[in-house]
Structure 1
């Protein structure tokens, strides 16, 4: 892999057969946003791409959790022209198009990662950084032009970019980006939920996340063995699942999540979740055979040394450069894997299992045990079931008709204290949201919905609680104005969803 610098931008390249492929990558992704600005990076990408003329060669742009890239494949001239046009657009974004591109984003309705992994990240990290992955936020039409301009000025410049090429840089290549300093990304993101827990979310199938050093060769090997065992059991033996997918998700400082995501046949989600957990426990207790380990190492060798893997390898090197973490090439990674023995892999997996988060679909209840036999408890944003509301403060009840018609409403309460709101839902969970932890306030007529950094939402609306004027006034006074926003014009109407019991905690603004 060669390295050069063009117009202040590092260029990583290595020769590969076929047309020239290029990716201009910026060290800014969805995890660099806030709840109030969710989607701003995607909007920047759309605004830049909207300036390009119609092109007939391969090109694209995308936003991930950690980076934004503009990619192209073609002749040297096509690559040069595309990159110059992108740089020119980023230097002078057509912000007059924000309203139209916001509508396009609403129609696209895409996330930066699959929904199961997104929920695992939110359960682990809360409603900040990588935890934003499962949230839709205020909506693309509520992103202010100032947020767009600030994002571009902070991150989309030569000091926070890297260019990846599958061949030497064409002589005419220029990258006319403004200069800038790479922003500090803060190292490893703090963990809200260390685990082990299981959580319920609106997901199509179960998933598992383990928090660890992502460069750990022993855990990398065990992670691969677990995936293959699940394929053999869930797909080939039981016929319960089609796909088992694993990933490593970076969340800063070389740390992150080893994830396993499994789809499930309709009606079999609980059984699939139980098998996923059972196989994880078995691997931690019994380990793997020499043959299983050797098979996975051979698989990594075949994939990583394949010439077609060069763009992915360049991408990994570029992401490491932008995140200021060391890059290990394929040879170094394979050498580390070759040094792993079955018991070392088992020990690494058993240690990581102490951080386990298991997500299951809604309406699925599981009864699982940890390796020591203690119950695997349900996690989430709430305090333990049966928690106590404060005795002081102003208490609000659901409207009388709701208490008469819905049993859950009879125990639901909202409590306003000097610096927080508390709520108890129909099943007894108590939620505490200090004003200092609020990351967004949705304004919907006379009501408010508060979103907290602890992955929790608390509606303070007249449909759920009577006489909330005092609570709304306290929220408006206690939470900074810049965190307030009007309900998105793209929000779906609830009018046709049918009658349901009020619930103090909502999934509003989920993707």
Structure 2
């Protein structure tokens, strides 16, 4: 193997059979991220590959626990061109495509290890370091472009890169990476649980045994011997398993997670688990037989004789260069295999036994003896305010939620409790408008949903107040696409509808349409129902969305969806849209079938419907100088504002009812005089009716007399002088306040 450098990047090359293959490795992976920023390395990798574009050779990129790698296979000049393009892309990532690639990352739902191994790492390390392999990326859409650029600047520099390749020298290759410093990795966390232990999983019919062991050939030989023994027993003698796999997962510079993974025929899970655990114990107690050691040595010799072994060695050295992982050379591996002893394997098997975690499918029975169960519940609870569940939820009667100064606890019984401490919080993920998930560094998580608890909104407010902003994030599943609500309703009616709610919105209007951009944590359809109910006349509502790739609308009437259209996708009914908007169907049909970018289609759609000109800016989240910010005051305060006329239209606008209400608030002289006359008339009528009833107020004449008296008092009340104009009225009418 030859070692050199190109543009300051260490290079490891070895002769190997064709085709020519190369890989550019960076020392950053899932364990270097945080829980809240899970997937940021994957985003960098996707953006770089997007910038490179299609190639005529086989290329790939991947992220694992410790490293990120870009590989290519083909003619040397084309491989070199690909590597140069990758480096250039990493220096100037096309973050304008971040939203698209975030969708791709979510769709891919890739993991850096197999699901059972990821779950085991989560059990061992919690929501940190290698344990992040067991968590899904909670919010890749919430990672801003600047953070993605900073991540690439920190980790994807020449000081954190290495190159490996096979075959001839890559003459003329350039690696135009940015300069940086060797990044500092967080210290390797220690396992959080006591072992040996067992747990269950929901990831299929596999039984997995794993343990964190120091690096070295002894661990590889020990797990190899165990694999052979278990496969012989489960497949060749019992026939209850098809494949037994052995693996060593890099979790740190000096540590491997050795893994034995066996599938199990339905109903035979307990047999497979028993054999796995028995063979580990037997090897720890008795050590290997002589032929088993010789077989492992022969396996090493056969591997090193493979023509591809030199390239594998070059790749291993490149990974070791950027991760700090200790990798033996071919000569050292041959020497270690030759020197391996019975006692060395027995001692390694003992360490494996003592550090083992056995993971079985849920419901496996019986559990092998000699193992303790991994903790299912937290060790303690916090003190604080207690909340009881709503009866309809179905929690056990003794269940309660406690939120205090130290953290939050869910208590279901004397032993069943989950606690997350504020000082040991990995993050808080919003999963709904009134729901948060607290994730502790130990891996325990607690859902706080306002709807599940009495005074649940107060519990949620306490939780949100306790968690600092930097530990909060909106989960991808809770993200609400930015949308604009379009109502064919007067602006003052929409303003009043928002005013009596607890929401806030940005509003523009053009006389026919009123457009609202509401809060991002409430689904637009739910927002539309709230606004339309108070806007009067049950107006039709369009929920208009513009994504990075498409434009769509949802047509609602009475809060219920009646149609949906996605340009380039789902086709809506132009007749329904024509009925709701008052436009001819013949004008709408061509627009619904229009091609073009979302912005171009939106321009045509807005022109046909005569929408407010500010709608594209509202959809894009841009500031609109002419927009009005409407803040809901709640039902009681909003109702008072309605009575005061805070939401009334300007004089001369609105329905006849609105105009009359405007006059009643201004109370000009003629209005007060008219009410004085009406007060006298109704007072006389009341006196005559009560007199005719001869004092019997429960008779029909007496009842009408009382009613006429009340009307007289109301008319008399309206003879008082007008009150000074409020700031709201001054804004609506353009007149200065009196007095």
Q: TM-score, normalised by structure 1?
A: 0.89
Relative to structure 2, which stretch is displaced further, 219-228 or 339-348?
Answer: 339-348
Structure 1 residues 142 and 241, CA, compared in 2 at 3 Å: closer, same or farther? farther
Q: 1:399 aligns with which of 381, 384, 390?
A: 390
Measured in 1, the distance between the counterparts of 2:220 and 2:435 equals: 48
Contact 1:141 1:489 in 2 (8 A): no
**Where do 1:435-454 residues align within 5 Å?**
435-443=422-430, 444-454=432-442
Measured in 2, the distance between the counterparts of 1:113 and 1:382 equals: 25
Q: Give deviations 1:244-301, integer Å, cap 9, x for gaps.
A: 1111122223113111112222333233222211221122122221011211221122
**Where do 1:470-489 residues align within 5 Å?**
470-489=458-477
Residues paired across the two proteins, number: 478
Measured in 2, the distance between the counterparts of 1:88 and 1:51 equals: 9
**Secondary structure in 1 aligned to 2:363?**
coil
Structure 1 residues 464 and 338, CA, compared in 2 at 3 Å: closer, same or farther? farther
Contact 2:450 2:459 in 1 (8 A): no
2:443 paired with 1:455: yes
Structure 1 residues 475 and 167, CA, compared in 2 at 3 Å: closer, same or farther? same
Measured in 2, the distance between the counterparts of 1:245 and 1:223 equals: 10
Measured in 2, the distance between the counterparts of 1:231 and 1:196 equals: 22
**Secondary structure in 2 aligned to 1:279?**
helix
Contact 1:187 1:253 in 2 (8 A): no
Contact 1:402 1:409 in 2 (8 A): no
- 1:460 to partner: Cα distance: 0.8
* Bigger share in helix: 2
Identify unmatched segments of 5+ residues in structure 1.
371-375, 492-511
Measured in 2, the distance between the counterparts of 1:79 and 1:337 equals: 36
Measured in 1, the distance between the counterparts of 2:468 and 2:305 equals: 52
Aligned to 2:315: 315
- 1:466 to partner: Cα distance: 3.0
Structure 1 residues 255 and 490, CA, compared in 2 at 3 Å: closer, same or farther? same
Aligned to 1:273: 273
Contact 1:15 1:166 in 2 (8 A): yes
Measured in 1, the distance between the counterparts of 2:460 and 2:263 equals: 42
- 1:427 to partner: Cα distance: 8.6
Q: Give deviations 1:376-429, integer Å, cap 9, x for gaps.
A: 111135236xxx645x421222211234xxxx5224322112121112246942
Aligned to 2:147: 147
Aligned to 1:243: 243
Aligned to 2:333: 333
Aligned to 1:430: 417
Measured in 2, the distance between the counterparts of 1:32 and 1:89 equals: 21
2:454 paired with 1:466: yes
- 1:46 to partner: Cα distance: 0.7
Relative to structure 2, which stretch is displaced further, 463-472 or 9-18?
Answer: 463-472
Aligned to 2:396: 409
Relative to structure 2, which stretch is displaced further, 180-189 or 96-105?
Answer: 180-189
Measured in 1, the distance between the counterparts of 2:478 and 2:449 equals: 20
Structure 1 residues 236 and 397, CA, compared in 2 at 3 Å: closer, same or farther? farther
Structure 1 residues 389 and 17, CA, compared in 2 at 3 Å: closer, same or farther? closer
Contact 2:434 2:451 in 1 (8 A): no
Contact 1:395 1:416 in 2 (8 A): yes
**Secondary structure in 2 aligned to 1:102?**
helix
- 1:469 to partner: Cα distance: 2.6
Q: TM-score, normalised by structure 2?
A: 0.62
Contact 1:421 1:432 in 2 (8 A): yes
Contact 1:118 1:131 in 2 (8 A): yes
**Secondary structure in 2 aligned to 1:207?**
strand
